[in-house]
Amino acid sequence: MRVWFLSAGLALMCMAQNAAAGTVLIVGDSISAGFGLDTRLGWVSLLEQRLKREGFDDKVVNASISGDTSAGGQARLPALLAEHKPELVILELGGNDGLRGMLPTQLQQNLASMIDSSRASGAKVLLLGMQLPPNYGVRYTKAFAEVYTSVADEKKIPLVPFFLEGVGGHPDMMQSDGLHPAAGAQGKLLENVWPTLKPLL
């Protein structure tokens, strides 16, 4: 009988540990997909390592696709939520919308829809903001950047104002195409996210 109680107790402990472990779903584009890099060097892999070092059991699912837009992410999200049932969704999208000159109002609608869908599934949301190079014009770049602060304020969710802070515009931190962060910049990307991300875990 004593052995049975011991076994049952161990089983309950394992169940409790599994219940405590959540899933972090990252829905992004090439920056989170690790375009041009060994993905083991990307900021998402560094995040997984950081979680383990700091004692978090959360599983990270990287559903980022190079070239994806906010519309693409919106279309993919319902199936991802149903499959992975995340406790936290990190949205890193919009850069390709801006590079293609898409309307900021459409980007805002798509992000708002993804936030609503994530919340309806029971997940928290973290939004990673993006900015465009100045050659896209002051008016457009300003309207684009304001989308992130506007939707974060409206939906009352945490925001990293500029995911590429300290990386974008620094040639030594970028790959030769000038668009994608180099391997040496991945740690900086994680540091930009971590202070806002950690309290959500």
Confidence of residue 11 (pLDDT cuts 50, 70, 90): very low
pLDDT digits 0-9 by tens, 87-143: 999 999 999 999 999 999 999 999 999 999 999 999 999 999 999 999 999 999 999
**Per-residue pLDDT at 167 exceeds 80:** yes
> Which phi and psi angles does 100 have, rounded to 5°?
-95, 5
**Per-residue pLDDT at 12 exceeds 50:** no
Decide the pairing of beta strands 88-92 and 23-28: parallel
- Choosing from 29, 30, 118, 121, the catalytic residue is 30
* Per-residue pLDDT at 1: 54
Please give the distance of CA 93 from its chain centroid, rounded to a whole number.
Answer: 8
* Per-residue pLDDT at 41: 95
Is residue 91 within 8 A of residue 54, CB to CB? The reply is: no
CATH number of 22-200: 3.40.50.1110
* Per-residue pLDDT at 6: 43
**Per-residue pLDDT at 3 exceeds 50:** no
**Per-residue pLDDT at 60 exceeds 60:** yes
Residues facing 56 on adjacent strands:
none
Cα angle for residues 54, 55, 60 (degrees, 5° grid): 90
Please give the distance of CA 199 from its chain centroid, rounded to a whole number.
Answer: 15
Predicted model pTM = 0.90
Is residue 93 within 8 A of residue 27, CB to CB? The reply is: yes
Q: Kindly give the residue spans of alpha helices, DSSP state H, lying in 54-99.
A: 70-84, 95-99
pLDDT digits 0-9 by tens, 23-36: 999 999 999 999 99
Q: In percent, how much of the chain has pLDDT > 70?
A: 90
Average pLDDT, the chain: 92
Angstrom distance (rounded) from CA 107 to CA 152:
13
pLDDT digits 0-9 by tens, 88-101: 999 999 999 999 99
* Per-residue pLDDT at 20: 57
Please give the distance of CA 62 from its chain centroid, rounded to a whole number.
Answer: 8
Classify residue 171 by its DSSP letter.
Answer: G
Based on the residue annotation, tell me whether 153 is a catalytic residue of this protein: no
